[in-house]
A and B are shown apart, each in its own frame.
Chain A
Amino acid sequence: MSSLQVQAPGLQTTVQDLGRRGFGPLGVSPSGAADPISLRLGNRLVGNDEGAAGLEMMLLGGTFVFPEGAIVALMGSDFGATLDDVSLDLGTSAEVRPGQTIRLGPTNSGARCYLCVHGGISVKPFLGSASTDILSGLGGFEGRPLRKGDVVRIESSTEPFHRRTIAPAVSEHLSRRKILRVTAGPQADWFSESSLRSFYASTYRVGEQSNRMGLRLERELELGPEDKLEAATISQRGVSHMITEGVSLGAIQVPTGGSPIILFVEQQTTGGYPKIANVISADLHRVGQLRPRDEIRFEQVTFEAARSLLIEQEKLLSSKELILE
């Protein structure tokens, strides 16, 4: 068993895989990589299953020493990585010799960068997944982001080093985009025509308070007097009319104050605010790359279109030509 030593943890570096599904009845959120496409591709570059655990870094990366060496790949956003002071490219596998150091800095592009290692990061699984759930302190490495001095185990690797590189065709799918595509939310008809128009016409700024639980959007949605929502919030005893129900990944809920929140990978499993829209599955990885102060807009598509976009995306991701050997 080899390891990596954390010399500097970065802003919030966590162990993530593709999450734990099926534990909603216990109130357990799926968690998992905020940009799962980057994690999947990074794993393929180092010869792992797509769902192996890697390190997710946010906005500012860490410094990691590999006493026994490793085969690694970085995917996602450019955090200005170096391997012993030599620039280390995104989207290509690299061999780390024993004792070498990978150092990452602040992001030059989106919010998250993934460090994948051949063999995968090894932690005790919680409900079948290595993903860290920061809020409840479960899963991952001791249920928390990494700290200086942590020694993280890597599953032993047997494969000799192969250079693998992501084909340029995929860059379209990983590029950051200002417009997120959404489908209508289950309470979309609670909002007036004018509120819906305003929602789709407005540019929102991602708030500083955003995290893996949710992204707070800063321009307030103006609610008209005819919105059922407003009537609901002034109902008897201040108890909202909305009955708590399950919330889906990427749901955009509008609390009483009017500032929308995109519920994200570590979201609460149920909630009591109306949902105006939901980010489509094919765009969820883009949400994971949004930084505070980024500006975004929403564009509505049909459920059929959302499904076609997902099928198309998966076709691209599963194609043999995606990885150049």
Chain B
Amino acid sequence: MQTSTTRGVRFEPASDQSLLLYFGEEITLGTHRRVRRLLHLLEREPIADIRNLNPAYCSILISFDALKLDHTELEAILLGYIDRLDAVHLPEGRELQIPTCYGAEFGPDLNDVAALLGMTPAQVIELHASITYLVYFLGFVPGFAYLGELPEALATPRLDSPRLTTPPGSVAIAGNQTGVYPFATPGGWRIIGRTPIAMFRPDRKAMSFLSIGDRVRFIPISAARFAELDKA
């Protein structure tokens, strides 16, 4: 099995039952749009024997029934979809807000982040809440949205050793990304705040609060407001 590049995409077998399709090697809006377009097309016109899709920044991992298909056959089918991408009309992403209580017990790493960046905690909050982020994709665990791009001045490395657990709703940053932990999972991103919004609820019609392509702003709230919203 060989890596092949055709029509601006690169295929790489990931396992005997999955194929990685790369639209590029850099995180750009153009690449993101192609990922979304192909995902949209594959969801609207599913290929028989495809079992799962894992979109990411520049790629989609496509899992298939290896008893029915092989990599080469799947690549040929996918190229037919790739040729039609320019004609795909994407639904407009929604504009959403994530009320966030920053610092103290809600954001245990806020002071460290500020110290690392040579800022005050207030400046970190202001900067984090100053821009609109794009949901590049959902991954890691149910409802976890990879949000970018973080302002350059806020770029920080991951924690040296990941936490064994993070409180659900924790708002965190790592590299040039930010995100919200939906569940009490292990995590290596630095936690600067927490939202009372449930990011993933199986009993809600839209289980995930965020969807790929949405635009998101973090709105600073007080601890009192957090408590109010948390009860609601």
- Of B16, B20, B43, which one neighbours A303 at CB under 8 angstroms? B16
Binary per-residue interface labels of chain B (178-210) against chain A in the complex, 1 for a CB within 8 Å, 0 otherwise: 000011010000000000000010100001100
Q: Among the listed stretches A72-80, A135-143, A198-206, A285-293, which one makes contact with chain B, having 4 or more residues with CB under 8 Å of it? A: A135-143
Binary per-residue interface labels of chain B (127-158) against chain A in the complex, 1 for a CB within 8 Å, 0 otherwise: 00000000001111111101000000001111
**Which of chain B's residues has its CB closest to A143's CB?**
B202
Known: A22-B51, A136-B185, A268-B141. A245 touches B57 (CB 8 A): yes
Which A residues are CB-close (under 8 A) to B17?
248-249, 281, 310
Compute how far the CA of A306 lies from the CA of B53 in the bound complex, rounded to whole angstroms.
21
Interface residue A239 (Cβ < 8 Å from any Cβ of B): yes
Which B residues are CB-close (under 8 A) to A135?
141, 183, 185
Min Cβ gap A61→B in Å is 27
Min Cβ gap B122→A in Å is 23
Compute how far the CA of A247 lies from the CA of B55 in the bound complex, rounded to whole angstroms.
10
Number of interface residues of A (CB under 8 A): 50
Number of interface residues of B (CB under 8 A): 53
Which B residues are CB-close (under 8 A) to A311?
67
Within A298-315, which residues are at the interface with B (CB < 8 Å)?
Answer: 302-304, 306-307, 310-311, 314
Which B residues are CB-close (under 8 A) to A184?
13
Interface residue B58 (Cβ < 8 Å from any Cβ of A): yes
Compute how far the CA of A239 lies from the CA of B67 in the bound complex, rounded to whole angstroms.
39
Binary per-residue interface labels of chain A (22-40) against chain B in the complex, 1 for a CB within 8 Å, 0 otherwise: 1111111110000000000
Interface residue A244 (Cβ < 8 Å from any Cβ of B): yes
Interface residue A21 (Cβ < 8 Å from any Cβ of B): yes
Is A249 touching B66 in the complex (CB atoms < 8 A)?
no
Is A251 touching B142 in the complex (CB atoms < 8 A)?
no
Interface residue A270 (Cβ < 8 Å from any Cβ of B): yes
Which A residues are CB-close (under 8 A) to B141?
27, 29, 135-136, 268-269
Is B157 touching A247 in the complex (CB atoms < 8 A)?
no
Compute how far the CA of A141 lies from the CA of B138 in the bound complex, rounded to whole angstroms.
25
Compute how far the CA of A281 lies from the CA of B26 in the bound complex, rounded to whole angstroms.
31
A-binding residues in B (CB < 8 A): 1, 12-18, 20, 25-27, 39, 43, 51-61, 63, 66-67, 70-71, 137-144, 146, 155-158, 175-176, 182-183, 185, 200, 202, 207-208, 212
Can you report 8 A-B residue pairs in the complex whose CB atoms are below 8 A from each other?
Answer: A25-B53, A27-B138, A27-B144, A243-B26, A246-B59, A249-B63, A281-B16, A307-B66
